[in-house]
Amino acid sequence: MHWHPDPTSRRLHASLKWDTYPETELPLWVADLDCAPPPCVASVIQRSLDHGVFGYGHEPRSFRDAWVAHLATRHDWEIDPDWIVPVAGVVPAMRLALLAHPDIREVVVPNLAYPYFHAIPEQAGLITHRVELTQTPDGLLPVTGALESALNQPRGPSALLWCNPHNPGGAMYSHTWLTRALERARDTQTLVISDEIWADLGLNGKPHVPIGQLAEPDQPTITLMAATKTFNVAGFPCAVAIIPESDTRHRFERILHAMPHVTPLAYQITEAVLREGWSWHAALIEALIANRDRVHSWASEHPELTVSTGDASFLAWIERSDSSQTLPTGQNRLADVFVRGGVRLSDGRPFGDPEACRLNFGCHPTTLHKALDRMHQVLETHH
């Protein structure tokens, strides 16, 4: 694995990360890595070009086998291959899961959370109940009693839309916490939908616990996973919904009619990285740890900020510390402060905190160094 030697050249290829904002801004926002994926991806694409026919396709049986082997090997989760439903992306799967259950009118979501956790229920006209999170050394975690309180609020069929590992903040939920959440969901007859796209990006050696692994087979759970984030192949949308309970699975399968399907190339690329991408992955984790440590070092120089990276992901969540008296608020949000310094981070508003921001350290160390230096300089002007 190597960082792209000239990441600014990504502007030549309609990159969302690099091409959305002015060239004067270093983009450390959307969760996109500045590196090529494992070499097996190029091999798959070349074989497809050599074949030269790009018609309709279907799911290869070997694709499902690759996921079964991956979950058993990496996450100690033995699943029935029939539990797998392929879908073109984790975010679409979140929305499809709710569409498949039109009786659900209320949804419990974390706050703070990746913006789609708020946007999807809102677009569907659903009532949301938010589980407030607070920043801890392990990432953003629920306030004591907040989950139980939120799950008790719906008056009819409801869903728990969760994120594990969490985005933002990188928290990996423990076996104990997930078991308790499942028990409360069962008691309140709540469908559990868990976005676990960050499952293979742990940086501290802490094991990921899939929520579906802990549920009883008859409890309705939908565990959503993908290799696209881990191996930087988001341009080939492919995810899996792992649904052990048959009625929930059949509902999900029915709603997929007339919806976008996974393309043959996306199937092949996902299977290839799950089987052949792990030496590349080991190098990526090592590089991300080095960048993460650089962010922590920078944060130690800025006690006016609280910076969390948690256990998984290549994203840092940045808030003002309780003792901060120097940073502007209101119209001068933290993300705006850094934009004026020439660094584009993800604004915290869509996540649920307009005064915070999210930094993507999945980039070339030189890019990260330049960005942190610019951020340091702009913070110094407020002292």
Give pLDDT tens digits for 311-342: 999 999 999 987 555 555 555 689 999 999 99
Q: Which residue has the tokens 């990921």?
A: 208
Q: Compute CA distances 142 → 76, 101, 108, 112, 313, whole Å.
A: 26, 26, 13, 9, 18
CA dihedral 199, 203, 205, 206 (to 10 degrees): -50
Determine the pLDDT at residue 325.
Answer: 56
Q: What is the pLDDT of residues 256-295, one digit of tens each?
A: 999 999 999 999 999 999 999 999 999 999 999 999 999 9
Dist. CA 126–CA 198, nearest whole Å? 26
Question: What is the average pLDDT score of the chain?
Answer: 95
Determine the pLDDT at residue 362.
Answer: 98
Determine the pLDDT at residue 188.
Answer: 95
Q: What percentage of residues in the chain have a pLDDT greater than 90?
A: 93
**If you average pLDDT over residues 297-319, what whole number do you get?**
95
Token pair belonging to 268: 């092949």
Determine the pLDDT at residue 336.
Answer: 94
Q: What is the pLDDT of residues 168-213, one digit of tens each?
A: 999 999 999 999 999 999 999 999 999 999 999 999 999 999 999 9
pLDDT at 138 over 90: no
Q: Which helix (H) or strand (E) holds 377?
A: helix 365-380
Q: Which helix (H) or strand (E) holds 224?
A: strand 221-225
**If you average pLDDT over residues 293-313, what whole number do you get?**
96
**If you average pLDDT over residues 149-158, what whole number do you get?**
96
Return the domain boundaries, the chain. 7-38+279-380, 45-276
CATH topology (fold) of 45-276: Aspartate Aminotransferase; domain 2 (3.40.640)
Determine the pLDDT at residue 215.
Answer: 97
Residue 308: burial class (beta carbons within 10 Å; 0-12, 13-18, 19+):
buried
pLDDT at 383 over 90: no
Confidence of residue 237 (pLDDT cuts 50, 70, 90): very high
Q: What percentage of residues in the chain have a pLDDT greater than 70?
A: 97
Determine the pLDDT at residue 376.
Answer: 97
- pTM recorded for the entire structure: 0.96
pLDDT at 59 over 70: yes
Q: What is the pLDDT of residues 341-362, one digit of tens each?
A: 999 999 999 999 999 999 999 9
CATH topology (fold) of 7-38+279-380: Aspartate Aminotransferase, domain 1 (3.90.1150)
Determine the pLDDT at residue 40.
Answer: 98
